[in-house]
């Protein structure tokens, strides 16, 4: 993974067994994705003028996550297309100096022009910044 974002686990995220509910993981991926775009594209990007839509989500679950776990979500670019971006993600629990894989998966984003109401090419500035970040060996 090339980018990691800490995830805050809220009480409302839990199911009746005290685990993070399976559907909440996609909200966590969204948090990590926004942190990624803020760092790499622009902290003040106006998503109402140009954005992305989720075209695909998939996830595999390995270990339950609990309220007091230290969780982070890693993202990694798989493919940068003309109008889309495919990423893998991984959730890991940091506990006692170990990393426990909680879940992993993939998502596909499609660039979207809300004014025209149609898909749009990945902006050249995004392409340059994403490519530069993904090639950089000195990431945080």
CA-to-CA distance for 104 and 4, rounded, in angstroms?
13
Query: What does pLDDT average to over the chain?
Result: 94
| Contact (Cβ atoms closer than 8 angstroms) between residue 139 and residue 3 | yes
pLDDT band at 115 (very low <50, low <70, confident <90, very high): very high
Residue 115 domain-assigned? yes
Read off the pLDDT of residues 36-46 as tens digits, 9 standing for 90 and up: 999 999 889 99
DSSP code of 43?
T
Q: What is the dihedral of CA 91, 94, 99, 105, to 10 degrees?
A: 0
What local confidence, expressed as pLDDT, does residue 140 receive? 46
Read off the pLDDT of residues 39-94 as tens digits, 9 standing for 90 and up: 999 889 999 999 999 999 999 999 999 999 999 999 999 999 999 999 999 999 99
CATH number at residue 54: 3.10.129.10
Q: How many distinct structural domains can be found in the chain?
A: 1
Residue 96 domain-assigned? yes
Read off the pLDDT of residues 124-140 as tens digits, 9 standing for 90 and up: 999 999 999 998 754 44
Residue 86 domain-assigned? yes
Selection from 59, 71, 58 nearest residue 13 by Cα: 71
Token pair listed for 38: 């803020």
CA-to-CA distance for 89 and 3, rounded, in angstroms?
9
What local confidence, expressed as pLDDT, does residue 1 receive? 79
Residue 140 domain-assigned? no
Q: List beta partners, residue 59.
A: 105
Q: How many residues does the chain have?
A: 140
């Amino acid at each position: 993974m090339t980018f990691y974002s800490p995830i805050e686990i809220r009480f409302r995220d839990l199911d009746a067994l005290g685990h993070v509910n399976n559907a909440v993981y996609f909200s966590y991926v969204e948090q990590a994705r926004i942190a990624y775009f803020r760092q790499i594209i622009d902290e003040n990007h106006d998503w109402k003028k140009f954005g992305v839509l989720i075209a695909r989500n998939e996830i595999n679950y390995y270990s339950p996550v609990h309220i007091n776990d230290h969780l982070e979500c890693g993202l990694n670019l798989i493919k940068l297309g003309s109008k889309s971006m495919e990423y893998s993600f991984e959730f890991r629990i940091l506990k006692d100096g170990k990393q426990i894989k909680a879940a992993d998966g993939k998502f596909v984003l499609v660039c979207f022009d809300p004014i025209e109401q149609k898909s749009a090419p990945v902006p050249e500035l995004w392409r340059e910044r994403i490519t530069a970040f993904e090639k950089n060996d000195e990431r945080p």
